[in-house]
Amino acid sequence: MPTVLVVTAHGDDMEFFAGGTISKLCMLGYDVHLLMATDNARGTFELSAEQMFGLRLREAEAAAKVLGLRSVSCLDYPDGNLCDTPHTTLRGQFMEAIRRLRPDIVFTFDPWAPYEGHPDHRAVSWAAMEAASFSHFPLYYPEQLAAGLAPFYVPETYFFAKSPIDVNRPVDVSGEAIERKIAALYCYDSQMVLTLADVQYAIQSAPYDVPEVTGLDPHDYRGFIDNRVRTTARIIGKKYGFEYGEHFRRVRWGGTERMAGPGGVPEEGF
Ligand SMILES: [Zn+2]
């Protein structure tokens, strides 16, 4: 079966941006691997960094079980400070994962999408896009080849973003896929508490109130997350005739699709 590598910054990034699609791929039997760059240790208003560090893999592994991932790994760079890691170091670690797993598809943040405020997302987006673009070049990180890895051409990259541009690949995530996406998000308990609390801070700074949100205990996030995820997926799905959708900017085969003959290009079965 095809192999997929998802490269993100934090626990819950994959689930929020592509959790429905990833759960669908797992249900189809794809081997999906998740690589997170940071330790999530700043994603809280109430726990210590040490407590967060202890949670990072436990939450990710629970979510991975819900989705059916093949593996989860974490580079454990300090959350929020990924920009302190040399770009070429991060890119090399992503390229090592690509050359080792030889994925048919890489999912990651879109470096060209606008309005991305999180420095870790920006750092991952550029490093992962470049790693996927150059992993077949033998003189990039030749020490990896000396260690036994081979150059590898990544056939397809799926980019996601908060404010996506040039989306060209909708995925129908209605049914079991969206249910698993939401169930996987709940596994990131610390991050769901943070997500609701952060929205509450925003509303509390505004000249109005949204009592059904500000009145919640941040630990009682399920209804809020469920509603937010379904609303977003419904808006996307409506454009394509799905109940729930996710969408991506997809680049495949180095943009050579237009060179395909009259037989055209087959669409993927998901
Ligand atoms: Zn994130």
pLDDT surpassing 90 at residue 248: yes
Q: What integer pLDDT is reported at residue 113 of this predicted model?
A: 98
**CB under 8 Å to 266, separation ≥6 — which residues?**
none
CA 154 to ligand 1 center in whole angstroms = 24
CA-CA distance, 31 to 256, in Å (whole number)? Answer: 26
Q: Pick from 59, 69, 76, 95: which is nearest to 9 by CA?
A: 76
CA 194 to ligand 1 center in whole angstroms = 12
CA 77 to ligand 1 center in whole angstroms = 13
In the 8-state DSSP scheme, what is residue 70? S
Measured over the CA atoms of residue 57, residue 58, residue 64 and residue 67, the dihedral's sign is negative
Token pair of 88 as six digits: 């070429």
pLDDT surpassing 90 at residue 270: yes
Longest CA span, the chain: 61
Question: Which of 31-45, 138-152, 196-210 is least confident?
Answer: 31-45
Q: What integer pLDDT is reported at residue 118 of this predicted model?
A: 96
Average pLDDT of span 236-258: 95
CA 240 to ligand 1 center in whole angstroms = 27
**What is the Rg, in whole angstroms, of the alpha carbon atoms belonging to the chain?**
19
Average pLDDT of span 15-44: 96
Q: For residues 121 and 54, which has the higher predicted lDDT (pLDDT)?
A: 121
**CB under 8 Å to 126, separation ≥6 — which residues?**
87, 91, 111
Dihedral pair phi/psi, residue 107, rounded to 5°: -105, 135
CA-CA distance, 203 to 221, in Å (whole number)? Answer: 16
Q: What integer pLDDT is reported at residue 214 of this predicted model?
A: 97
Average pLDDT of span 151-172: 97
Q: What integer pLDDT is reported at residue 107 of this predicted model?
A: 98
Q: What integer pLDDT is reported at residue 49 of this predicted model?
A: 85
Cβ 4 vs Cβ 103: under 8 Å: yes
Q: What integer pLDDT is reported at residue 264 of this predicted model?
A: 79
CA 44 to ligand 1 center in whole angstroms = 12
Average pLDDT of span 199-222: 97
CA 9 to ligand 1 center in whole angstroms = 5
CA 12 to ligand 1 center in whole angstroms = 7
CA-CA distance, 131 to 250, in Å (whole number)? Answer: 16
CA 146 to ligand 1 center in whole angstroms = 33
Q: Using pLDDT thresholds of 50, 70 and 90, give the confidence band for residue 208.
A: very high
Token pair of 81 as six digits: 């400070």
CA 224 to ligand 1 center in whole angstroms = 19
250: left (phi over 0), alpha (psi -120 to 50) or beta: beta
CA-CA distance, 187 to 190, in Å (whole number)? Answer: 9
Q: What integer pLDDT is reported at residue 143 of this predicted model?
A: 98
CA 261 to ligand 1 center in whole angstroms = 40
Cβ 104 vs Cβ 2: under 8 Å: yes
Average pLDDT of span 33-49: 91
pLDDT surpassing 90 at residue 258: no
CA 122 to ligand 1 center in whole angstroms = 10
pLDDT surpassing 90 at residue 40: no
CA 80 to ligand 1 center in whole angstroms = 9
What does pLDDT average to over the chain? 96
CA 25 to ligand 1 center in whole angstroms = 22
Average pLDDT of span 55-80: 94
Q: What integer pLDDT is reported at residue 43 of this predicted model?
A: 85
CA 36 to ligand 1 center in whole angstroms = 10
Complete domains list, the chain, with CATH:
3-254 (3.40.50.10320)
Which residues are near ligand 1, the ion (C-beta closer than 5 Å)? Answer: 9-10, 13
pLDDT surpassing 90 at residue 68: yes
Q: What integer pLDDT is reported at residue 257 of this predicted model?
A: 85
Average pLDDT of span 210-236: 97
Average pLDDT of span 147-164: 98
CA 123 to ligand 1 center in whole angstroms = 11
Q: For the chain, give the number of residues.
A: 270
Q: Using pLDDT thresholds of 50, 70 and 90, give the confidence band for residue 12.
A: very high
pLDDT surpassing 90 at residue 265: no
CA 263 to ligand 1 center in whole angstroms = 40
Q: Using pLDDT thresholds of 50, 70 and 90, give the confidence band for residue 267.
A: confident
CA-CA distance, 44 to 123, in Å (whole number)? Answer: 21
166 three-class SS: coil
* Token pair 């760079």: residue: 77
DSSP count for the chain of H helices, then E strands: 9, 7
Q: Which amino acid is at 17?
A: F
CA 150 to ligand 1 center in whole angstroms = 31
Token pair of 20 as six digits: 């429905």
Q: What integer pLDDT is reported at residue 112 of this predicted model?
A: 98
pLDDT surpassing 90 at residue 54: no
Alpha helices in the chain (DSSP H): 13-27, 49-67, 87-101, 119-134, 142-146, 176-187, 189-204, 211-214, 222-240
